[in-house]
Structure 1
Amino acid sequence: MELQKYISKFLAKRKKNLSEKDYHLSNEITKIIGYPIHNINLYREAFSLKTPSKFKQNNNYERLEFLGDSVLGTIISCHLFATYPNANEGYLTQMKSKIVNRKNLNKLGTELGLANFLQNESNTTLSENLAGNLFESLVGAIYLDLDYDTCKKIVLERLLTPSEINKLENKIVSYKGLLLEWSQKKKLCIRYETVEEMQGNKNLVFRTHVWLEEERISNATDTSKKKAEEKAAQRAFYILNKKQCILENPKDHT
């Protein structure tokens, strides 16, 4: 209650010194992070798109995204190191990858509605990873505006809670990577063959076949080679997992 009163008084005071647009941004960010912000310029930059400029370098989210990526990585690494004292380096690396991978960050950024805070319009098509990029730029802005300890507290208590992290423990991020790791442990050769195919509607697709030694396990098609390989790997995983357990006990970290 005391914190809420402090924030309310802080925002009321800032409203007199900010434009309506900046006040709205300040208010919305404060609601998300639970702390009053100090430097509105950082958050304005964190939600600004890159625009063509012949005369000067315009401030946009990319630099803060770069910083936020490193800060977020450090926060998550320290959290995992303390949370799983018996885990080996491989498990910690896998868990970190599940948390900070682009798909998960996009999900977090979308759930927070970060794209709603964009400060300028763009004539170009927005990246499918924009929500995740803005999530990282927000972390970068929080780190510079407040401090590392406060930023860490905000990330782990409001933006990416331990309960959300625990949900990712058994999540498979890449079936292709999982099959590769399994095949290396078993000293088996797994390979992918991808060819281009023209469908009846004249759309070009990629078909990937997964081979284990000399046996063709599965195949799948998609609009890109990467997507086709991942889809084929997922099908191969389910087929092979019925014959032998590929996925290790997730609690067996050592």
Structure 2
Amino acid sequence: MTLSYPRRQKQLQSLVQKLGLPAQAPVQWQLLDLALTHPTISAQANYEQLEFVGDAVVRLVAAEVLWETYPDCPVGEFAAIRSVLVSDRILAQLAAEYGLELYLLVAGSASTDKAGQETRLADAFEAVLGALYLSTHTLKLVRPWLDPHFKQLAAQIRSDPARLNYKAALQEWTQAHFKVLPEYRVQEISQPRDSLERFAAEVWLQDRQLGQGTGRSIKAAEQAAAQVAFLAISDAQKNGE
């Protein structure tokens, strides 16, 4: 069934083609339209429920890809890799690759909220997965185009000792060597309006600063600081310091 708005129908068909799905794919267009409708457009008819479904879908796809690609991988490593694959950061990156922002209906200040862009894109991406899943109640409209991304990302994560989650990796290292957690000190920084770097973070261990970084959010700034610290520690260990 098509939408009553031809222009919107063409927009959504364009997105489906970007995903590499056939023109005659059994997509329920009303669901896909809803998946790309931000709560600022409608308090009732928006993507929130589809996002809830999509959250389960993306976790299932990630689990199946890992199961099929790395059958001998320990469960703990499965969980660690999947946690990165389904993170807002990765989902927002995938959403950006397909230009999801161009199709997302957003109103008011949310449309220019750069700080919330990552969460907004990740939520919409999950909602799209939910809509595609509910169109057939199978993964046949999801896995053909999502699998290659997850396989590539999983390979990168497995080759990275920090699994792209430097906060978690640094925490494991400090607990193993010092039995304590690193401390993060974050403050908001003054930047030009068009800058996305809103916070600065430092990571400390036993009165010693290990690294510092900036980011659009507190979490991003902490992750940046942890990355600097972890890579410095890794280099030091390689050099026998």
Same fold by TM-score greater than 0.5: yes
Within the candidate set 6, 12, 21, 1:34 is matched to 21
Tell me which residue corresponds to 1:234: 227
Task: Check 1:111–1:189 CA distance in 2 against 1; reply closer, same or farther (3 A cut).
Answer: same
Within the candidate set 104, 111, 122, 2:107 is matched to 122
What are the equivalent positions in structure 2 for 1:30-179 lying under 5 Å apart? 30-31=16-17, 32-35=19-22, 36-51=25-40, 57-118=43-104, 120-126=105-111, 127-129=116-118, 130-157=120-147, 160=149, 162-171=151-160, 172-179=163-170
Query: In the TM superposition, what is the alpha-carbon distance from 1:105 to its structure 2 partner?
Result: 0.7
Cα distance between partner residues in 2 of 1:145 and 1:122: 27
Contact 1:210 1:232 in 2 (8 A): no
Cα distance between partner residues in 2 of 1:109 and 1:87: 28
Query: In the TM superposition, what is the alpha-carbon distance from 1:71 to its structure 2 partner?
Result: 0.9
Q: Greater CA deviation, 104-113 or 186-195?
A: 186-195
Query: In the TM superposition, what is the alpha-carbon distance from 1:239 to its structure 2 partner?
Result: 2.5
Match of 2:30, as an amino acid? Answer: N
Match of 1:240, as an amino acid? Answer: I
Cα distance between partner residues in 2 of 1:22 and 1:225: 36
- Identity %, equivalent residues: 24
Tell me which residue corresponds to 2:195: none
Q: Which runs of 5+ in 1 are unaligned?
A: 1-13, 246-254
Q: Greater CA deviation, 44-53 or 88-97?
A: 44-53
Match of 2:10, as an amino acid? Answer: H
Query: In the TM superposition, what is the alpha-carbon distance from 1:101 to its structure 2 partner?
Result: 1.0
Match of 1:241, as an amino acid? Answer: S
| RMSD, aligned CA | 3.1
Match of 1:75, as an amino acid? Answer: V
Task: Check 1:24–1:189 CA distance in 2 against 1; reply closer, same or farther (3 A cut).
Answer: same
Q: Which runs of 5+ in 2 are unaligned?
A: 193-197
SS of the aligned residue for 1:64 comes to: helix
Cα distance between partner residues in 1 of 2:41 and 2:143: 36
1:95-118, Cα deviation, whole Å (9 max, x unpaired): 112211111111110110112123
Cα distance between partner residues in 1 of 2:63 and 2:98: 23
Cα distance between partner residues in 1 of 2:147 and 2:214: 38
Task: Check 1:23–1:231 CA distance in 2 against 1; reply closer, same or farther (3 A cut).
Answer: closer
Contact 1:42 1:141 in 2 (8 A): yes
Cα distance between partner residues in 2 of 1:180 and 1:232: 12
Contact 1:61 1:137 in 2 (8 A): yes
Contact 2:201 2:213 in 1 (8 A): yes
Tell me which residue corresponds to 2:210: 218
Query: In the TM superposition, what is the alpha-carbon distance from 1:169 to its structure 2 partner?
Result: 2.9
Cα distance between partner residues in 1 of 2:171 and 2:184: 15
Q: Greater CA deviation, 71-80 or 185-194?
A: 185-194
Cα distance between partner residues in 2 of 1:69 and 1:93: 15
SS of the aligned residue for 2:182 comes to: strand
Contact 2:21 2:141 in 1 (8 A): no
Cα distance between partner residues in 2 of 1:194 and 1:162: 35
Query: In the TM superposition, what is the alpha-carbon distance from 1:233 to its structure 2 partner?
Result: 2.2
Query: What TM-score comes out, normalization by structure 1 length?
Result: 0.72
The structure with the largest alpha-carbon Rg is: 1
Query: In the TM superposition, what is the alpha-carbon distance from 1:48 to its structure 2 partner?
Result: 1.0
Cα distance between partner residues in 2 of 1:23 and 1:59: 18
